[in-house]
Amino acid sequence: MNEKKIIVALDNNNILKTLELVEEIKNEVNSFKIGYEFFFNFGIEGYNQIKKISSNIFLDLKLHDIPNTVEKGIKAISKLKPKFTTIHISGGDEMMRASLLKKKKTKILGVSVLTSLNDKETNKYYNEKSVESLVKKFALEAKKFNLDGIVCSPKEVKYIRKVCGKNFIIVTPGIRLNSVKLKDDQKRTLSPREAIKLGSDYLVIGRPITKAKNPLKTIKEINSYLK
């Protein structure tokens, strides 16, 4: 059976509706992403309520601090046994080293560049001419320091797959659900199938699924489209 490719983002402030949703679609997803909004609202108790229904969780807390603090943070997160968690690659070499636990079950993904950052700000804060060039640099550093993979936009996926190889996880957020039924040669938005073809392992989709009238039907349609 082929592994599911969709990670569903659960960020919201209604725990009961979230639990109902997870129960409804758990067999059609790769994992459920828990980020700041959910975790700061419901904490470890809410996390464990989700985990009782589905053990596959992407705990997306984007750690970014001095190496010792990040190491302790990762050790605490590892007790929750998420499938994936994240750190900022921009935290530097020692921080990345500190995030790696021996015999860990949780995959450590490096956050490259936030999608809110533009080329002007990339040049201002990182002295790089573009977001794309910075993401490429970060990807190579993440690979060098043995992170399990990277979170990046669709624009850089093809390059990252080429230089980082097959055994490097690429998670792509920002996929537009309204492009699900577009043909692959239509470039108005990136379709889920196209992102997978470029080299993404998993796609993060949130509100287009969680706010759909029929979330189960919606995600089944996406999975069918990706086959």
pLDDT tens, position by position, 158-201: 999 999 999 999 999 876 655 444 344 434 456 788 888 889 99
Provide the terminal-to-terminal Cα distance of the chain, rounded to the nearest Å: 11
| Helical axes 157-164 vs 131-144, angle rounded to 10° | 30
Task: Give the residue from 177, 162, 182 showing the smallest Cα distance to 217.
Answer: 177
**pTM metric for this prediction:** 0.90
**17-21, 43-47, 154-158, 213-217: which has the minimum mean pLDDT?**
154-158
Which domains are present in the chain?
A: 6-226 (3.20.20.70)
Average of pLDDT values for 132-156? 93
> Residue 98's pLDDT is what?
94
User: What percent of the chain stands above pLDDT 90?
Assistant: 70
Q: What is the mean pLDDT of the chain?
A: 89
pLDDT tens, position by position, 33-51: 999 999 999 999 999 999 9
> Residue 45's pLDDT is what?
97
> Residue 174's pLDDT is what?
72
Query: What is d(CA 69, CA 76) in angstroms, rounded to the nearest whole number?
Result: 11
The confidence band for 102, taking pLDDT boundaries of 50, 70 and 90, is low
The conformation of residue 114, written as its DSSP 8-state character, comes to -
The residues carrying an active-site annotation are 62
> Residue 11's pLDDT is what?
81
pLDDT at 120 over 80: yes
Query: What is d(CA 136, CA 150) in angstroms, rounded to the nearest whole number?
Result: 11
